[in-house]
Amino acid sequence: MIDILFSDSACGSLKIAQHYGKEKYPVGCMSIIVSHTDGSKPSKDEIETARKEAEEKKRMAWDNATPLDGKVSDIYGFNLLLSIGDISENQLGIKRKQVLEHLFSVYPNDQEHQVAKEIFNLAIEDLKTIRERAATGETFRVWYSNQPDDMCGLYWFMSQFNQWNVNNGQVVIVKLPEWESDGYGNVMQKNSWAEVAPEEWYQYFAFQKTVSPVFIQCCASHWQALQAENAPLRAVLNGQLVSVSEKLYDDFIRCEIEAEDEKFHEAMIVGRVLGKYQLGICDSWVALRIEEMIRDRKLETVTGSDKDMPLYHRVLKKVTH
């Protein structure tokens, strides 16, 4: 079974899950954050207590885990951020690479070209390997959620399967439940597979289901329609993946800016938009939309960002007319 995901974090977690809980608990380094709501400094005893509790929790998770015993080499991640930018190409091409470079341009030291190149080249290589393995009759498991990049990944990959004429029963999908119980009477909500810890993956195999050729064809047709529209963004509205304007998320950004003083730290806005609204978008897109507001003279730059930090680590000022 070959696993396909659309997030680097989720892909890494699933790889760890293959052998998580197997053999003796590995003692290693860990980090904890201890803070008080009033801003006072935690005591040494409080820090030590928190450390012991975190260590015990981690050890219990290891001891109670169910190793998946799969192969790490059978897990593939495609972090192509397909909900953003041009998707008109039928195969991964220069336009997708340019979108990735644009998104990564908010990071320092010319990282956009190197990171985008690595992601793009790896995707090309992995896609070729997966196609070859599909021709041999291997089965595939696609993990997705309601996040826009996951939904785009699902439709895009079904379009690939449709082109490859995979056999009936060769594709399995697993959708992240919108709500679930922790077994202690508490209801939880995970927004993406990136939030699933290594010891938790085994429980989601119960949700997998085999898809028919008709399902694959329907997804492929939907993706072709989105390609024809080729909007700046794609989002999940009322459970449907649709083309939308690049301004879709601007109101959320403006709402957080309006709650700030005249001068404010841009990074705080980016963080709150991502954490508060759970829109499933990346920090780069929020930063680029704020950059557009600066170009429109709605905001001004007060201080530049450190050369070793993302572009949005700076102070901005509201412009009043």
Q: What is the dihedral of CA 176, 179, 182, 185, to 10 degrees?
A: -170
User: Are 183 and 59 in the same domain?
Assistant: no
> Is 0.85 topped by the overall pTM?
yes
Asked whether residue 76 is assigned to any structural domain, the reply reads yes
User: Are 199 and 160 in the same domain?
Assistant: yes
Asked whether residue 47 is assigned to any structural domain, the reply reads yes
User: Are 11 and 156 in the same domain?
Assistant: yes
pLDDT digits (tens, 9 = 90+) for 222-279: 999 999 999 999 999 999 999 999 999 999 999 999 999 999 999 999 999 999 999 9
- Residue 63 pLDDT level (bands cut at 50, 70, 90): low
Q: What is the pLDDT of residue 112?
A: 58
Q: Write phi, then psi, for 298 (nearest 5 degrees).
A: -90, -25
User: Are 89 and 174 in the same domain?
Assistant: yes
Query: Between these two residues, 165 and 320, which has the higher pLDDT value?
Result: 165
User: Are 91 and 222 in the same domain?
Assistant: yes
Q: What is the pLDDT of residue 229?
A: 98
Q: Is the pLDDT of residue 30 over 70?
A: no
Query: Between these two residues, 300 and 26, which has the higher pLDDT value?
Result: 300
Query: Between these two residues, 41 and 178, which has the higher pLDDT value?
Result: 178
- Tell me, rounded to whole angstroms, the distance of Cα 200 from its chain centroid: 18
Domain end position, chosen among 226, 260, 279: 226
Q: What is the pLDDT of residue 66?
A: 77
Tally the domains of the chain: 3
Q: What is the pLDDT of residue 220?
A: 97
pLDDT digits (tens, 9 = 90+) for 287-301: 999 999 999 999 999
Length of the chain counted residue by residue: 321
Query: Between these two residues, 52 and 12, which has the higher pLDDT value?
Result: 12
Q: Write phi, then psi, for 209 (nearest 5 degrees).
A: -145, 145
User: Are 182 and 34 in the same domain?
Assistant: no
Asked whether residue 241 is assigned to any structural domain, the reply reads no
Q: What is the pLDDT of residue 42?
A: 82
Asked whether residue 271 is assigned to any structural domain, the reply reads yes
7 burial type by CB count under 10 A (0-12 exposed, 13-18 middle, 19+ buried): buried
Q: Write phi, then psi, for 173 (nearest 5 degrees).
A: -120, 150
User: Are 91 and 14 in the same domain?
Assistant: yes
Asked whether residue 236 is assigned to any structural domain, the reply reads no
Asked whether residue 237 is assigned to any structural domain, the reply reads no
- The chain-wide mean pLDDT, for the chain, equals 91
Helix %, strand %, coil % of the chain (to 5) = 45, 15, 40
Give the integer Cα–Cα distance in Å for 208 and 222.
22
As a whole number, mean pLDDT of residues 103-130 equals 88
Asked whether residue 232 is assigned to any structural domain, the reply reads no
User: Are 163 and 32 in the same domain?
Assistant: no
As a whole number, mean pLDDT of residues 28-46 equals 75
Q: What is the pLDDT of residue 284?
A: 95
User: Are 8 and 135 in the same domain?
Assistant: yes
Q: Is the pLDDT of residue 69 over 90?
A: no
Q: What is the pLDDT of residue 60?
A: 72
Query: Between these two residues, 62 and 45, which has the higher pLDDT value?
Result: 45
Q: What is the pLDDT of residue 270?
A: 97
Tokens of 281: 């978008």
The rounded percent of the chain whose pLDDT value lies above 90 is 71
User: Are 6 and 51 in the same domain?
Assistant: no
User: Are 147 and 192 in the same domain?
Assistant: yes
Q: Which domain holds residue 109?
A: 2-21+69-226
- Residue 206 pLDDT level (bands cut at 50, 70, 90): very high
User: Are 81 and 210 in the same domain?
Assistant: yes
Domain end position, chosen among 211, 226, 241: 226
Q: What is the pLDDT of residue 110?
A: 62
Give the integer Cα–Cα distance in Å for 16 and 198.
6
Give DSSP secondary structure letters for 58-115: HHHHHHH-------GGGEEE----TTBS----SSS-HHHHHHHHHHHTTSSTTHHHHH
- Residue 306 pLDDT level (bands cut at 50, 70, 90): confident
Q: What is the pLDDT of residue 34?
A: 77
